[in-house]
A and B are shown apart, each in its own frame.
Chain A
């Protein structure tokens, strides 16, 4: 999809977004322990974003003109959903239906990668973007207090940035290493020479604080998604661009004292992911990762990654902490709740599930 202005968006989305807010959604939000946000598809090919409560019930549905990716929350009553790469729109909406959703776009020579993160005070939104003519990763900065006006950008210090995290004064960016260009669809243009990295960028001046690479024999593991824990560790999940018949570590951990290193999960568990981790989430001492490609979820204590619990569900992907457990959604419309119950809807959930 090319650049899109607000009018075009409203034309394609219809007037459905405000109307889609379900009755008493605001009250339901008050009553639930956790609110989840996720993008979805419908069986007939429409797209949107939804908020779900802790029972997997849909609180709000917002139509999108094309496929969305991650939903990020700033405060309890505001969220942004990004277009999936190489989309160029994002939509900010009130989680309690307070005002009309607001559409904003990446500049004409950038597209979104589908991920973003708010500053701790909620005033700024950082989005991973592709400067596709220069094949350079960028971090777009949007002013959440001024209708998400784009006020600047930083380098991501790598190619193909994907997930981004804010921690205090630092932005952590997963540079997947893959060059793509809208002229060639989703074709990866530089697999032989890819150099994925984990970059730490100063949130105030955009300077590079540190950049970490995996060992050269793992250079085809595209660093895509990450999750942090309370002790300052980051866990990183990758997607393998090399021979699918080769089993390589898809997970890594980063700690300020020890740097970036592969997480030694057993080969037979990693093999189940078919080279592709779609989502990662942490809850206390439990880390969970999913592969929609194989329909498998792995769950383990990263302090003892030799013992892995493996569960299956077709096209499972979205993951978020819930109570002492995890909630997981799938691209066939199921939502597995922490208490073991499953809810099936007519909506097909997209890659990510975010909780607030």
Chain B
């Protein structure tokens, strides 16, 4: 009875030739995109620590303005690595600790407000903070401290609780960013497992499996951008969505963070040269991908102003609905069409569990 299975196994082992060419895309992604970007994220997180430290010491309005800039840089460099949902970012709840989102019931806001009200000093030690709720320890909580109601106190006192809590979060973010960077740099770590598939590699037994992980990650990233970041604020028919459902509405970084993620994804695909491995009759996919990324970034560039003004203006918010369509198209191109053209075993969305 096993003959049939064996035949398929042979096809799987000898088959799709194109996948062999695509293997080098993994190494190029890691060396050319992942490592420089996780290092950049760790650097911006370190600057966040020193700037918030200086703010706590001085309480100066200029320093708060500087911290807002540094926060922006850290958020945007995080947006370029947040979709690397494989390997080091997936360890020890790091991804959720950096950014707990979506937070449908505003768990983070409620918890942070409570901590502030009680001046709960247990959050001031960043190592102790790491063991608390993920909603208390990342960019969401930090955004509220730096931009939310009551943030004026940051320039009204020195060494106050709110600032020290912000510093503790920054230290936590920096420690996680370092751990992620080290995880990717580890020569015997995940990067090696991913880029050197083989019969003895328990995770990736062949080229098809490791390339499928890359394609699956790209496809998943587009679904996350669409379902978690765009759909909560994109109009559906005539319905207006509450602008407070936007990620980073307080700091006004909603649009730039989306743009950073999409540009990061585009850069990674380009650097990987994955689409160069497509067979000749599918080269059009690469052209369509470039076209759709341009469309998405152009639509985002039209969204200037506060998140509220974007969401409440029908003309502007129609760009959000358009972005939902474009990201779906990109996901179809990069997930399904590319996977099929490269003869990958399957692409499977991690959001697809059933």
Contacts and interface: CB of A to CB of B under 8 A. Distances in A.
Contact of B354 (A69, A189, A192): A69
A183 B104 contact: yes
Given A183-B232, A187-B228, A294-B345, A247 B354 contact: no
Given A185-B351, A222-B353, A224-B353, A192 B96 contact: yes
B346 interface: yes
Interface string A329-342: 00000001001111
Contacts of A313: 5, 8
B353 A276 contact: yes
Q: Is the interface of A mostly helix, strand, loop or mixed?
A: loop
A292 interface: yes
Contact of A314 (B213, B231, B345): B345
Nearest to B226: A185
Given A245-B90, A292-B346, A294-B345, A185 B5 contact: no
Q: Is the interface of B mostly helix, strand, loop or mixed?
A: helix
Interface string A184-204: 111111011100000000000
A247 B193 CA distance: 13
A267 B134 CA distance: 30
Interface string B330-354: 0000000000000001101111111
A107 interface: no
Nearest to A338: B1
B12 A312 contact: yes
Given A312-B12, A351-B354, A191 B2 contact: no
B138 to A, nearest CB: 11
B112 to A, nearest CB: 16
Contacts of A111: none
Contact of B1 (A278, A295, A340): A340
B65 interface: no
B97 interface: yes
A313 to B, nearest CB: 6
B351 A187 contact: yes
B91 interface: yes
Interface stretch (A6-14, A142-150, A236-244): A236-244
Contacts of B104: 181, 183-184, 189
Nearest to B350: A244
A311 interface: yes
Given A239-B353, A295-B345, A314-B8, A245 B203 contact: yes
Interface string A235-274: 0000101111111000000000000000000011001001
B119 to A, nearest CB: 25
Contacts of B351: 185-188
Contacts of A185: 223, 227, 231, 351
Residues of B in contact with A, size category: 35 or more
Most chain B Cβ neighbours within 10 Å, of A178, A245, A247, A292: A245
A84 interface: yes
A295 B346 contact: yes
A295 B202 CA distance: 16
B87 interface: yes
A242 B94 CA distance: 11
B346 A314 contact: yes
A187 B90 contact: no
A116 interface: no
Given A189-B102, A292-B348, A314-B345, A342 B4 contact: yes
Interface string B133-173: 11000000000000000000000000000000000000000
Given A183-B104, A186-B352, A189-B102, A243 B87 contact: yes
A38 to B, nearest CB: 14
B354 A339 contact: no
A184 B354 contact: no
Contacts of B133: 193
The 8 A-B pairs of least Cβ separation, nearest first, read: A340-B1, A243-B90, A185-B227, A192-B96, A192-B134, A311-B5, A293-B348, A192-B93
30 contacts: A135-B105, A162-B354, A181-B104, A183-B104, A185-B227, A186-B353, A188-B353, A189-B104, A191-B93, A192-B96, A222-B353, A239-B353, A241-B353, A242-B90, A243-B87, A243-B91, A244-B86, A244-B213, A244-B350, A245-B87, A245-B193, A245-B203, A267-B202, A278-B354, A292-B346, A293-B346, A311-B9, A312-B8, A314-B8, A340-B1
Interface of B: 1-5, 8-9, 12, 86-87, 90-91, 93, 96-97, 100, 102-105, 133-134, 190, 193, 202-203, 209, 213, 223-224, 227-228, 231-232, 345-346, 348-354
Interface of A: 69, 84-85, 114, 135, 162, 178, 181, 183-189, 191-193, 222, 224, 239, 241-247, 267-268, 271, 274, 276, 278, 292-295, 311-315, 325, 336, 339-342, 351
